[in-house]
């Protein structure tokens, strides 16, 4: 099978898997609802008002945000890896997660209870991307790691002074889809509608950039403005995903890596396949996350559910190890 046909097959299979995951999230949950009541709630004829709240206000937005955030993280990973020409790079390499966490921490300390966490996360992540481009154009990966370390240290310092927002900040640092609402989906889907097509439109030029900077310049690519646009799209995609779901680990690394194994390095195929795999991966990890029950020390009952970031970290660690070993063999 040719790679374009393989890409179409993967995207089609991913669409089917996404539909199955949506149904699984709707019909499975901590509140036991008969399938008939779930169908009635979906069709606007709930037997009880609480059924409509559970299905439409909590379960459906959760799975939609998971699918959208996973796609954005995967596409951001593809773009970051292309810019720095390193398969080990991911959205966290830019430091945007640390920037979002610091901004959320500051907003909660200065204006508690004002509901500014989402816009603060977006603003902090985008500002981090702007600083990264300004100070680290020659070595984005190194500058991003250092910037993330500085911002994480600043967040820790703020939390030492005022620990009140620590529970909310931890959601951004680990990544969680708990208590997602229709408002979260309403804030996320416009970014999906703009950034995913824009990333695909950049794909042909990314193929030229992959030939090396001298060859790209020789073929007429204006590298400085091109890299600025690619970095902007990558940071915006990561920022939107992190603001909605937190700094979920490894999705932006695993999905591009698997997509590259399936369809090769052509970014025209890599972008849609990675987006599909990222969406399915994060939603599937979330399904596993809220199905797990753990016993914490000092508690007599099990705690249902773990943050989805903990699951993706467990899935992504072996992939990272394999990539590092592969790089060391070269």
Tens of pLDDT, residue by residue over 54-65, are: 888 888 999 999
pLDDT at residue 303, as a whole number: 47
Instruction: Give the end-to-end CA distance of the chain in Å, rounded to a whole number.
Output: 29
pLDDT band at residue 32, thresholds of 50, 70 and 90?
Answer: confident
pLDDT at residue 91, as a whole number: 87
Closest CA to 282 of 307, 302, 319: 307
Other CB atoms within 10 Å distance of the CB of residue 209: 22
Does residue 74 surpass a pLDDT of 90? Answer: yes
188-198 pLDDT tens trace: 999 999 999 99
Burial 20-36 (b: 16+ CB within 10 A, else e): ebbeebbeebeeebeee
pLDDT at residue 113, as a whole number: 67
pLDDT at residue 271, as a whole number: 96
Does residue 99 surpass a pLDDT of 50? Answer: yes
Which residues lie below 8 Å from residue 226, measured CB to CB, with a gap of 6+? 205, 209
Give yes or no for a contact between 171 and 244, defined as CB atoms under 8 angstroms apart. Answer: no
pLDDT at residue 190, as a whole number: 95
Closest CA to 70 of 214, 259, 206, 207: 259
Query: Domains, the chain, ranges and CATH?
Result: 3-329 (1.10.3470.10)
Of the candidate ranges 46-55, 172-181, 315-324, the one whose mean pLDDT is the lowest: 315-324
125-149 pLDDT tens trace: 889 888 888 887 667 778 888 888 8
39-53 pLDDT tens trace: 888 888 888 788 888
254-295 pLDDT tens trace: 999 999 989 988 999 999 999 999 999 999 999 888 876 555
Share of the chain above pLDDT 90, in %: 33
Average pLDDT, the chain: 85
Residue that wins the pLDDT comparison between 144 and 22: 22
Closest CA to 280 of 259, 265, 305, 300: 259
200-244 pLDDT tens trace: 999 999 999 888 888 888 878 888 889 889 988 998 999 899 888
């Amino acid at each position: 099978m040719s790679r374009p046909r393989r890409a179409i097959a993967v995207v089609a299979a991913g669409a089917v898997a996404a539909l199955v995951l949506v149904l699984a999230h709707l019909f499975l949950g901590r509140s036991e609802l008969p399938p008939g009541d779930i169908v009635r709630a979906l069709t606007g004829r709930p037997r009880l008002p609480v059924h409509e709240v559970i299905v439409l206000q909590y379960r459906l937005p959760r799975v939609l945000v998971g699918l959208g955030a996973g796609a954005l993280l995967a596409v951001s990973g593809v773009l970051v890896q292309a810019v720095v020409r390193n398969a080990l790079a991911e959205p966290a390499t830019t430091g945007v997660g640390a920037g979002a966490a610091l901004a959320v921490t500051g907003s909660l300390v200065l204006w508690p209870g004002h509901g500014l966490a989402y816009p603060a996360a977006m603003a902090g992540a985008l500002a981090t991307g702007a600083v990264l481009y300004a100070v680290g154009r020659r070595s984005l990966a190194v500058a991003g790691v250092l910037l993330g370390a500085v911002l994480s240290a600043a967040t820790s310092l703020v939390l030492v002074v005022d620990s009140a927002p620590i529970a909310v900040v931890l959601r951004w640092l680990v990544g969680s889809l708990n208590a997602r609402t229709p408002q979260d989906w309403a804030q996320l889907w416009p970014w999906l509608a703009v950034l995913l097509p824009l990333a695909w439109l950049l794909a042909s030029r990314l193929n030229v950039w992959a030939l090396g900077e001298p060859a790209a310049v020789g073929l007429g690519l204006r590298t400085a403005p091109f890299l600025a646009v690619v970095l902007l799209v990558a940071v915006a995609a990561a920022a939107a995903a992190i603001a909605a779901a937190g700094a979920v680990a490894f999705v932006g690394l695993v999905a591009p890596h698997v997509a590259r194994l399936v369809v090769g390095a052509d970014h025209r195929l890599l972008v849609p396949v990675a987006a599909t795999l990222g969406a399915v991966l994060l939603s599937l990890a979330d399904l596993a996350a809220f199905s797990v029950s753990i016993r914490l020390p000092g508690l007599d009952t099990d705690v249902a559910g773990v943050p989805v970031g903990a699951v993706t970290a467990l899935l992504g660690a072996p992939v990272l190890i394999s990539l590092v070993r592969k790089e060391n063999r070269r």
